[in-house]
Amino acid sequence: MCKHFLKIWRRNNKKRKLVKKQEAARTQIMTKMPPLMKSLVPAIFLTLFSPLLLAQPAGYYDGADSSSPEALRQSLHAIIDDHQRFPYTSSATDTWDVLELADELQGDPGRIITLYRNAAFDKQGGGNNFYNREHVWPKSYGFPDNDSTVNYPFTDMHSLFLSDIDYNFARSNHPFKYCDANCLDYATQPNDGRGGVGGGYPGDSNWQTGEFTEGTWDVWNGRRGDVARALMYMDVRYEGGTHGVTDASEPDLILTDDLNLIDSSRTGKNEATGYMGMLSVLLDWHRQDPVDSVEMQRHETVASFQGNRNPFIDHPEWVSCVFEGQCAFSINAGLNDAWYNPATNGQGFLVVVWENIQMMFVAWFTYDVERPPEDVKTILGDPGHRWLTAQGPYDGDTALLDVYVTSGGVFDSAEPAVGPPVKDGTMQLKFSDCSTGVITYDIPSVNLSGEVPIERIVQDNVDLCESLKLPR
């Protein structure tokens, strides 16, 4: 009987300690938040954690320079470098505490969701028989020693996830690759509105085969992008040298498609350079699986502790610049101007960019060189002139706008009255630089669609555009 009560007391005491650790972690998150954020977050903050309410701090990426791949890499490294380290396992706040907050099952703060299996478990408050911690960049490739004072990548929670123990073991330290043949199926469970759909490859399964770098771990489709962006963060965060505050040595972590290089860093000891991949596969996964609410939830939680962010979650468009050498142009107010297609007479575009709200307005005007006969029925507006407007948000080099048609009205006359604008299609503007772009349009009601290359009518604002084009 005494043993029975002792067992119950130990179990309850463990739960009490878990609650205290979780509350301490919540308190730490709240203390790190700016006053405005605190006012928006209720007492049950992590229960109602919404990525829509949370965003990167104002000015965080002010130093980002996308003028070239190397410039962007170096500037992002400077921004996210020297983060706050938390111990791997400790009686104080440690990685267990943070990960059990970061990987909470959405809508259920008492449970966590695992990376590969997509399984939900009651929080255990640390080491247990259900889930453990997965280094998506395997610690054996560059930083295997868990030193309590150094070795920042070992405890970096942007690359540390909760995982089913069996699935973590199966992944081992394989590079991330596509399954080609004879792979074992590691299925997912249905949680968070996804996972659990069986069937053939790829389905909602992870796929594994082989040993070490000869092996494969193919992540299920709902978390491919999460893994890819975590590894890309590690590549930029760790560039060798030392931590700027603690002076701890840090490895240079590099993503590659060279399996020989990857295998060379699997030495069982800390290395100055560590390799992981496959980079080409991770780039595919980044595009296949965009940032979603689950990824944003854990990102905001980890960032609130470590004090640094994953730029490829905040700005997915930077992936192609850093890792593929394709630095996209960024829309800015220097594009405010009149634009036209020199090969087409009788049309033009007035572009207005509001940077403070990331919105664009376009007026599309057309006219005929000669007014058509009176009996000609026109599609838009009166014979001889037609006009459309479009408005909507932009991101990076592209704006996605709703097209509106306005009818009625005669110059300098109250009659006939101008009718309300009617939404009638979509328009996309993609700018390649400060002087050229392409408009793609689709107006279903009149069965009109096409593509129009555009350039500036005058060059007065080009210098302004060049000075503003870097992300801020």
Per-residue pLDDT band at 367 (split at 50, 70, 90):
low
Closest of 206, 201, 211, 200 to residue 224, by C-alpha: 206
Instruction: Please give the residue that has the higher pLDDT: either 256 or 33.
Output: 256
pLDDT tens digit sequence for 58-82? 889 989 988 889 999 999 999 999 9
Is the Cα torsion angle 315, 318, 323, 326 positive or negative in sign? positive
Q: What is the pLDDT of residue 467?
A: 76
DSSP for 231-261, please give it.
HHHHHHH-BSSB-TTT--B--EEEE-S-HHH
Per-residue pLDDT band at 386 (split at 50, 70, 90):
low
Using the CB atoms, write b or e for 104-128: b if 16+ within 10 Å. bbbeebebbbbbbbbbbbebbbbee
- pLDDT of 50 higher than 50: no
Write down the pTM of the prediction: 0.67
Instruction: Please give the residue that has the higher pLDDT: either 302 or 6.
Output: 302
Q: Where are the domains of the chain?
A: 2-324, 333-468
Closest of 106, 86, 138 to residue 294, by C-alpha: 106
Q: Which CATH number fits domain 333-468: 3.40.50, 3.30.390, 1.10.3470, 2.40.160?
A: 2.40.160
- pLDDT of 292 higher than 80: yes
Rounded Cα distance between 204 and 196, Å, is 6
Rounded Cα distance between 304 and 9, Å, is 34
Per-residue pLDDT band at 370 (split at 50, 70, 90):
low
Q: Are strands 385-395 and 359-367 parallel, antiparallel or unpaired?
A: antiparallel
Per-residue pLDDT band at 387 (split at 50, 70, 90):
confident
Instruction: Please give the residue that has the higher pLDDT: either 7 or 142.
Output: 142
> Which residues are within 8 A (CB) of 466 and not within 5 positions of it... i.e. 6 or more apart?
334, 434
Rounded Cα distance between 274 and 291, Å, is 26
Q: What is the pLDDT of residue 167?
A: 96
Average pLDDT, rounded, for the chain: 82
Q: What is the pLDDT of residue 305?
A: 97
Q: What is the pLDDT of residue 182?
A: 85
Closest of 184, 451, 161 to residue 310, by C-alpha: 161
194: helix, strand or coil: strand
Half-sphere exposure of 445 toward its Cβ, with a 13 Å CA cutoff?
10
pLDDT tens digit sequence for 313-361? 998 888 989 999 888 788 999 999 999 988 877 789 999 999 888 899 9
Q: What is the pLDDT of residue 365?
A: 81
Instruction: Find which of 107-111, 228-232, 389-393 is predicted with most confidence, using mean pLDDT.
Output: 228-232
Name the residue with tokens 């905001």.
Answer: 300
Instruction: Please give the residue that has the higher pLDDT: either 378 or 146.
Output: 146
Residue 467's Cβ-count burial label (10 Å; 0-12, 13-18, 19+) is exposed
Lowest mean per-residue pLDDT among 178-187, 338-347, 437-446:
338-347
Lowest mean per-residue pLDDT among 37-46, 214-223, 270-279, 350-359:
37-46
Question: Largest Cα–Cα distance in the chain?
Answer: 103
